[in-house]
């Protein structure tokens, strides 16, 4: 990209979401989310422990193991996955720190495709569009179906490249 080329709005806001994600202290996953109305940024959030409570960098991740259905070479398999449950997800923090009035008709930019719980909450939050970058496979069919049912625009930025300094070395599934 040359210096004279302006960033489009999707790139501009997704870059900010990635910069916000660097605030996360969970070593397993850094997620950033923004609330945008028109071209105006109304809120930012990342995944983290509740305020005043030791976070993953201090107390370690709180790992929950669960079996999840995944498709491997076209067939369903149950695979044991580890997830950190210490943090409030970025999307949920965004909902905790923004007003319903601001959310009505707004767009959420989020670095990662929302999980089922976050998608469920976003679907009831007043936002009309969700833009994400990295795919998150778990429940993604269910999430897409619900967004369609709710008439929420749900789109992935496919050709986007985040600022290198904002991406953690390794995202653990
Ligand atoms: Zn963690
Ligand atoms: Zn989530």
Mean pLDDT of the chain: 92
pLDDT digits (tens, 9 = 90+) for 14-37: 999 999 999 999 999 999 999 999
pTM of the model: 0.90
Of 79 and 109, the structure prediction assigns the larger pLDDT to 109
Ligand 1 mean position to 38 CA, how many Å? Answer: 33
Confirm whether residue 149 is marked as ligand binding.
Answer: no
Taking a 5 Å cut-off on Cβ, the residues next to ion ligand 1 are 26, 56, 61, 84, 86
At which residue do the structure tokens 């997800």 appear?
A: 89
* Catalytic hit among 91, 129, 165, 170: 91
Does the pLDDT value for residue 159 go beyond 70?
Answer: yes
Phi, psi of 169 (to 5 degrees): -55, -45
- Residue 5 — very low, low, confident or very high, per pLDDT cuts 50/70/90? confident
Q: What is the pLDDT of residue 168?
A: 78
pLDDT digits (tens, 9 = 90+) for 100-123: 999 999 999 999 999 999 999 999
Ligand 2 mean position to 84 CA, how many Å? Answer: 11
Of 170 and 63, the structure prediction assigns the larger pLDDT to 63
The C-alpha angle with vertex 81 and arms to 80 and 86, in degrees rounded to 5, equals 140
Residue 37 CA to residue 44 CA, distance in Å, equals 12
91 is annotated as an active-site residue = yes
Confirm whether residue 115 is marked as ligand binding.
Answer: yes
CB-CB contact of 25 with 55 (8 Å): yes
Q: What is the pLDDT of residue 85?
A: 93
CB-CB contact of 107 with 128 (8 Å): yes
- For residue 134, give both structure tokens: 């990295």
Does the pLDDT value for residue 73 go beyond 90?
Answer: no
Confirm whether residue 30 is marked as ligand binding.
Answer: no
- Alpha-carbon distance values, 127 to 18, 109, 139 (Å): 20, 11, 20
- Alpha-carbon distance values, 23 to 35, 82, 100 (Å): 17, 22, 25
Distance of CA 58 to the CA centre of its chain: 23
- What proportion of the chain, given as a percentage, has pLDDT over 70? 95
């Amino acid at each position: 990209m040359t210096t004279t080329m302006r960033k489009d709005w999707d790139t501009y806001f997704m870059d900010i979401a990635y910069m916000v994600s660097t605030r996360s202290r969970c070593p397993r996953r850094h997620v950033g989310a923004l609330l945008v109305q028109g071209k105006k940024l109304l809120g930012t959030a990342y995944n983290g422990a509740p305020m005043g409570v030791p976070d993953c960098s201090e107390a370690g991740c709180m790992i929950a193991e669960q079996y999840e259905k995944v498709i491997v070479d076209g067939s369903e398999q149950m695979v044991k996955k580890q997830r950190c449950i210490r943090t409030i997800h970025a999307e949920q923090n965004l909902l905790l720190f923004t007003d319903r009035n601001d959310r009505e008709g707004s767009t959420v930019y989020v670095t990662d495709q929302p999980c089922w719980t976050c998608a469920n909450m976003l679907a009831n939050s007043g936002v009309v569009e969700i833009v994400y970058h990295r795919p998150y496979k778990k429940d993604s069919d269910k999430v897409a179906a619900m967004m369609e049912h709710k008439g929420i625009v749900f789109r992935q930025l496919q050709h986007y490249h985040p600022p290198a300094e904002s991406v953690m070395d390794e995202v653990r599934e």
